[in-house]
Structure 1
Amino acid sequence: MKQLLLLFALGLASCTPAPHADDMPKDPKALPPIVLLKGDTVSKFSTDSLAKGRPTLLYYYGPGCLPCDTFTQKMIAAMDTLKDINLLFISAGSFHDVKLYQEKYNVEKFPNVKLGLDYNNTFFRYYGGQAYPLLVFYDKNRQIKRANLGSLPLDTVRAIIDM
């Protein structure tokens, strides 16, 4: 029975479509065009509309993820040190989860922060995010610097941003 369940799970995992060429940047190191659907299920935000000339951190979090909750709390407490970057909270949950996370942490009160659901699964297809949290760092020219699975100390986050 366990083998059958494993085969079923592997079969489902293989059903994830490969990124469509139109969805991906021509430069594989460039920030991909990710569209986030906000918790109100109407408003959208795209990585294309991020402030230019600033580093960007994509933060892929999951509902019910304790390390994600802890990392979010630490970032909120130290937002003064992160106010010069574009920070995107990208949900792996549902619209409801996005709304609850925003209500719980109110991260969008910070002008440099956006939170939403990657309803097209572009992040997942591009980065293969299979665990939380996943942090992807981009420089001010929108070129990838580093991706990290798991949370990091905030001084390390700041050091990566400043590299």
Structure 2
Amino acid sequence: MKKWFLFLAASFCLQFSFAQAPTPSERKKLFPTLQLLQVDSTTLTSGLLKRQPTVIMYFSPSCDHCQHQMDDMLAHTKEMKNIQVVLATYQPFDEMVEFHKKYHIEKHSNYKLGRDVNFILPPFYDIRNLPFIALYSKEGKLLLSHEGNIKVEKLLQALK
């Protein structure tokens, strides 16, 4: 009887060990469930995005490295015209609005900017440094993830 109980207990424990949630590195391979509050107070969700290559950039509007990354991406507007760029921040709404004005986001139809009000992305990607960049294929497959600045050429190369 004791052996039978130990067998059942071991089986029960094994069952739960295989039912664990995906680790951050496994989750990163999936396209995240987005819920971003945009400047016009509408919500951008994953379902509203086009099926095309997508860059997700998690940033802070006051971060110098993030601003340099944005400058680099905007300097390559022609090369990135077929890439959807989702800019997500956790900072206050008014800082995001200032960033929107500074970079004239409305002039770039492939750019979407929003506030991660539910703080979904940092734990999803296990983000430690900004800017954080994730590049997905049009099929939603993760091609590259990077913390810190990255050259646009490297993003474009990953899409080939």
TM range (shorter): 0.7 to 0.9
Structure 1 segments unaligned to the other structure (5+ residues): 1-20, 22-26
Q: Which residue in the other structure is 1:35 paired with?
A: 35
Quick check: 1:106 aligned with 2:104?
A: yes
Provide the alpha-carbon RMSD of the alignment.
Answer: 1.6
Q: Look up the SS of the partner of 1:111 in the other structure.
A: coil
Q: Which has the larger radius of gyration?
A: 2
Which letter does structure 2 place at the counterpart of 1:120? N
Q: Distance in 2 between matches of 1:95 and 1:148?
A: 25
Question: Is the 8 Å Cα contact of residues 63 and 92 (structure 1) preserved in structure 2?
Answer: no
1:58 CA drift (Å)? 0.3
Structure 1 counterpart SS, 2:109? coil
Matched residue, 1:57: 55
Counterpart code for 2:90: A
d(CA) in 1 for partners of 2:36 and 2:128? Answer: 18
2: CA distance, partners of 1:108 / 1:157: 23
Hey, what's the Cα distance between the residues in 1 that align with 2:76 and 2:126? Answer: 28
Q: 1:138 is aligned with what amino acid?
A: Y
Which letter does structure 2 place at the counterpart of 1:51?
K
Structure 1's 161 and 92: CA in aligned 2 closer, same or farther, altered over 3 A?
farther
Q: TM-score, normalised by structure 2?
A: 0.78
- Compute the TM-score of the two structures, normalised by the length of structure 1: 0.77
- Matched position secondary structure for 1:88: strand
Judge conservation of contact 1:137–1:145 (CA < 8 Å) in 2.
Answer: yes
Q: How many residues in Structure 1 have an aligned counterpart in Structure 2?
A: 135
